[in-house]
Chain A
């Protein structure tokens, strides 16, 4: 079986598609068979548990130009600027976020930031006519 070239593998990160380098580890869209192969050749880092929830927002890399306005308005420094200019900020302190929304409200490039409520904070509503239940 042909090895997967990970430099061309895209993985889905919320609403945005991210081109990964050699070390891209998420290969969910490729299915189990390919996943095994990916796993076999993966160099794996030892990482602590991911703080959760850890994505109060999703950045659209095609729209975000890394202006860091969100970094500046954030009340608690959830973000730091990306070391590489022009890239979306890094979410460094996600668990301190109090979901005030200023980063998304004030973003000068509409669509660059999508607010991403943690699953347990997503409200429900019901269509009054049909009774159909929806969750945010």
Chain B
């Protein structure tokens, strides 16, 4: 017996709710620095703030020990150009990385300067970053002296830069900026360090809204409200500085859980709460119009590597059904980490398949790899990374042997993703400055919460940085009073779905939002369609939201997440209406403004609420200024590897 249905059949009744129910009860917590979201960025922010000697509270929807996209593990510490084996200058490398249109030069500079320091701290806490046992002796990229394992990723000039021809030529020397790590214990290590430093952790609490001075939109952030998703207890946090370290929104266009399990890139908890609470408080967001075709499983496609759809994603040569090698880059040493095939290569493969020159299906030819490279890929890379850890484990137990068996690839045979199944995970987020402060006093952001976020080590380095900056701010400011009216109105909003026992439940509401987005805010964008989208979402807000009901604290959390998704969707439409031009890097096609990336539109679009009215603005590309200069001006006191060099 393990399912609910089994239990009911055995016992003749449903199990009781297993946790104490505390609807309406309040708990008030006072902190200098409040960290919202306990993933990689949040944990690092909490640790870094606590090390500054301030009182820190960390609030997490799940359990900090394994929560967030990096909860299960991490295999690559990307973009660590300050590491001792690096052959590039961190500041030059940062400028190069930030050359990608609509990237975040501030976050990238911080990552390039500080994520080697961050990794060394991780090692001190108990994270494994070196092959000390000599398990991978002889592997390409393994350094005998430091025992570090370099990865071929970013071995060439970063291949994401459009029109950058330099990536086609292998560099004379390797860049050596990416390090393989044994990250499956990073999250438990981070939680333990938080506890050791006296960070007060509130697990299973969803933060629902930010509190501002006198309850006024646009004023200093002085705290937040939350709800415990097991007990329903209402939480009031008072803070001098708050850091949002939540994630973006994972599933605005998609709702497919009943079909195949909710195998989205991220779990359903990734619902844009942080972005939306910042928005409601009056913080400016940017890049919110950027979307792309859903890259991942979402239940409809094969799930491998969070559903990237390809069994042999990295380091592995891909062959056809009769063993003929395909000209895909393998992102391995042989092509020094070249990540995506050029469009003409992709097209040539497709045509050759149609002519019958390549036989379907394709396979990842693990047996063709050398033993040590195969182990470094299968055991270390896939075995330590996030959701692939369990995949590797079940394949091993199921009898798959990478030295003997070809792993099926799902390229071509599962078809392309539907263009209307999009994702917002293309970089919309909170606007930040060189302190990682948002446009509101008292509010900072880190990791996936900022616009144009990057990977695990980026979340770690920026979280660590935001914690430091928020702690410094918290020490300067006086306590401020919470607005009791604001608390009361938020409490009423949070509990509203509990007041009803029928109506519309969260899954249907989510699916309704997703459908409206598929119709009106998808591949085809015009003024008319976008206005219809706005209308459809408004109708959902006016007709369906007042009927939203939740029967227990868990469903209450999901219902509140729907409200985040709905607001997030509306922001996307507003931003899409305001950008009157198409753009390749933003995945943004306006049929009524078809010219791609016209010069006058190469700028960031910002969007915020002012007196509850939507206000848009613009920032020039690279608005962050000279990255090295700005970083140094803002971090005179910081003593890291780069400074000591």
Contact = CB atoms under 8 A, between A and B. Distances in A.
A80 B268 CA distance: 18
A105 B2 contact: no
Contacts of A95: 257-258, 261-262
B311 interface: yes
A102 B72 CA distance: 6
Interface of B: 1-10, 12, 15-16, 18, 62-63, 65-68, 71-72, 184, 204, 229-230, 257-258, 260-264, 266-269, 297, 302-304, 311, 323, 363, 365, 367, 386-387, 389-391, 393-395, 397-400, 404-408, 554
Contacts of A123: 302, 304, 311, 391, 395, 407-408
Contact of A80 (B18, B269, B297): B18
A84 to B, nearest CB: 10
Contacts of A125: 363, 395, 400, 405-408
A94 B4 CA distance: 9
B229 A77 contact: yes
Nearest to B16: A83
Contacts of B67: 75
8 contacts: A52-B258, A90-B3, A98-B262, A98-B266, A100-B387, A100-B390, A120-B260, A123-B304
A115 B406 contact: no
A34 to B, nearest CB: 19
B1 A18 contact: yes
Contact of A121 (B68, B257, B302): B302
A100 B268 contact: no
A45 interface: yes
B231 to A, nearest CB: 12
The majority secondary structure among interface residues of chain A is loop
A133 to B, nearest CB: 8
Contact of A99 (B68, B71, B390): B390
Given A83-B15, A91-B3, A127-B405, A20 B10 contact: yes
Contacts of B264: 98
A117 B263 CA distance: 11
A97 B262 contact: yes
Contact of B65 (A73, A120, A134): A73
Contact of B268 (A76, A81, A117): A76
B9 A59 contact: no
Interface string A95-136: 111111110111000000011011011011111110000101
A121 B400 CA distance: 16
The majority secondary structure among interface residues of chain B is loop
Contacts of B184: 105
Contact of B7 (A51, A54, A56, A90): A90
B386 to A, nearest CB: 7
B586 to A, nearest CB: 27
Contact of B393 (A56, A82, A115, A134): A115
Given A76-B268, A76-B269, A95-B261, A13 B72 contact: no
Given A59-B2, A123-B311, 12 more contacts: A56-B261, A73-B63, A90-B15, A95-B257, A97-B261, A98-B264, A101-B391, A114-B397, A123-B395, A125-B400, A125-B407, A127-B404
A50 interface: yes
A92 to B, nearest CB: 5
B393 A23 contact: no
Interface in A32-78: 45, 47, 50-59, 61, 72-77
Contact of B260 (A53, A72, A100, A124): A53
A108 to B, nearest CB: 13
Contacts of B389: 101, 105
B462 to A, nearest CB: 22
Contact of A101 (B62, B72, B407): B72
A101 B390 CA distance: 5
Contacts of B230: 77
Contacts of A96: 257, 262, 267-268
Given A95-B262, A98-B267, A105 B405 contact: no
A59 to B, nearest CB: 5
A72 B65 contact: yes
B413 to A, nearest CB: 10
A102 B9 CA distance: 28
Contact of B71 (A21, A23, A75, A91): A75
Contacts of A47: 5, 8-9
